[in-house]
Homo-oligomer: A and B are copies of this chain.
Amino acid sequence: MDLERSPLAQPFPEIPSIDGVTLRIARAHYKSWDRCDLTYVELAEGTTVAGVFTKNVCCSSEVELGREQVRLGRARALVVNAGNSNAFTGYRGREAVEQIMAQVAAHLDCQPSDVFVSSTGVIGVPLPKDKAREGVASVLQAPACSWEDAAITIGTTDTFSKGAVAKAVIGDRTVTIGGIIKGSGMIAPDMATMLGYIFTDAAVEPGFLQQCLSAANESTFSCITVDSDTSTSDTVLAFATGKAGNVPLASLEDIGSEAFAAALHDVCKRLGMLVVRDGEGAQKLIEVQVSGAVSDDSARRIGLAIANSPLVKTAIAGEDANWGRVVMAVGKAGEPADRDKLSIGFGGVWAAKEGLPLADYDETPVAAHLKGREIDIEVDLGLGEGSATVWTCDLTHGYIAINADYRS
């Protein structure tokens, strides 16, 4: 099926080359399509790595292995297969991943555990080993490609390529953090998964890189939702080549650590929002701001209950300031809330305050706001200091068309 480019798409940014990172792409023919579907990233010796993975207990072998590899903290290469998620394929799927790791390790003369593999696409079909072998052999000989080429090649049902870049000053060095990501539904028809890769030339100890990535994940990737369906393969990896020559960052006390953590957070947030912007059928980007909750965690869960509510998402699709549905979603979240302290607003205008619809509520500016592409929902629980921001998209006929009308 041909998908139209999302109306919320953004142009691919200018990402400079990052010292120690070389990108290559090739055709492994995982599906009968005429496109590159295998991405290879070679990383300089000494590169450190951190990762966050899906919590779905039916995860793929790639995710299982990746979790173990990240603990070792070292990386030399990344291979991404598009068109086959290799999830729910048992030992046969695992063998295909181990074959790729061994093949690349032999080429680089490194440990197989230094080679990270991700796959995205159909569930339940073991990744074909012969296609993988030929694809890897071909990509190892391929010329270096651009960030955007790689971003396109890791995509499946994505309607636009997605990247983000930020810089941070560490002592006398300026480091670059660049990232690419794919994803549009948590699982799209026959396809799957959010996969994100972040690269920096900064020198960062793996434990601290993991700490920064995990912290950023909490308020970025863990705060986006398209359809509440958690993929079996979601993966975000961060690689630090150390080529910028800064004194390696090992803790938040080190000079430049806060700047690095903030820049990494910025890249994670922008990558996450690009996924929402490419949400299946999305016509509007929705930002849900929750404040006054008993804790930040509670605020995030309430935000996700709103962002996952089909009735809230269809109301926004219909440009309807239906705050009653927001009330319903707050109430069902299973978190502390007091109906008579609850306030709801759209685009900065309160519709209901402290448990009652506002008598002088003027829907005119709200109606204008809802006609736009970027919608803000504000919720104040009036209970405490906890807050969170969550991003989602509206639920439209496009989502049904993508997921029901076409057979996978």
**In the complex, which residues of chain B have a beta carbon less than 8 angstroms from the beta carbon of A214?**
none
Residue A33 CB within 8 A of the other chain? no
Distance of A330 Cα from B88 Cα, bound (Å): 12
Contact among B328, B356, B408 with A187 in the assembled complex (CB-CB below 8 Å): B328
Contact among B58, B189, B319 with A328 in the assembled complex (CB-CB below 8 Å): B58
Residue A362 CB within 8 A of the other chain? no
Instruction: State the Cβ distance, A154 to closest chain B Cβ, in Å.
Output: 20
Interface string of A295-335 (1 = CB under 8 A from B): 00000000000001111001101111011110111111010
Distance of A336 Cα from B57 Cα, bound (Å): 8
Instruction: State the Cβ distance, A395 to closest chain B Cβ, in Å.
Output: 7
Interfacial residues of chain A within 28-53, with CB under 8 A of chain B in the complex:
none
Q: Let me know if A403 and B331 touch, CB within 8 A.
A: no
| Interface of A (DSSP majority class) | loop
Distance of A59 Cα from B339 Cα, bound (Å): 8
Interfacial residues of chain A within 15-33, with CB under 8 A of chain B in the complex:
none
Q: Let me know if B403 and A58 touch, CB within 8 A.
A: no
Q: Let me know if A331 and B58 touch, CB within 8 A.
A: yes
Instruction: State the Cβ distance, A153 to closest chain B Cβ, in Å.
Output: 23
Residue A218 CB within 8 A of the other chain? no
Interfacial residues of chain A within 189-237, with CB under 8 A of chain B in the complex:
189, 192, 227-232
Q: Let me know if B328 and A232 touch, CB within 8 A.
A: yes
**How many chain-A residues does the 8 Å CB contact rule pick out?**
69
**In the complex, which residues of chain B have a beta carbon less than 8 angstroms from the beta carbon of A332?**
55-56, 229-230
Residue A340 CB within 8 A of the other chain? yes
Interfacial residues of chain A within 85-133, with CB under 8 A of chain B in the complex:
87-90, 92, 122-125
Interfacial residues of chain A within 357-408, with CB under 8 A of chain B in the complex:
357, 394-397, 399-401, 403-408
Identity of the chain B residue whose Cβ is nearest the Cβ of A342 in the assembled complex: B58
Q: Let me know if A124 and B232 touch, CB within 8 A.
A: no
Contact among B88, B310, B311, B401 with A310 in the assembled complex (CB-CB below 8 Å): B310
Instruction: State the Cβ distance, A344 to closest chain B Cβ, in Å.
Output: 9
**In the complex, which residues of chain B have a beta carbon less than 8 angstroms from the beta carbon of A232?**
327-328, 331
Given contacts A340-B90, A403-B315, A404-B315, contact A124 B352 (CB under 8 A): yes
**In the complex, which residues of chain B have a beta carbon less than 8 angstroms from the beta carbon of A155?**
none
Distance of A330 Cα from B339 Cα, bound (Å): 33
6 contacts between A and B (CB under 8 A): A89-B357, A92-B356, A310-B399, A314-B399, A318-B404, A320-B404
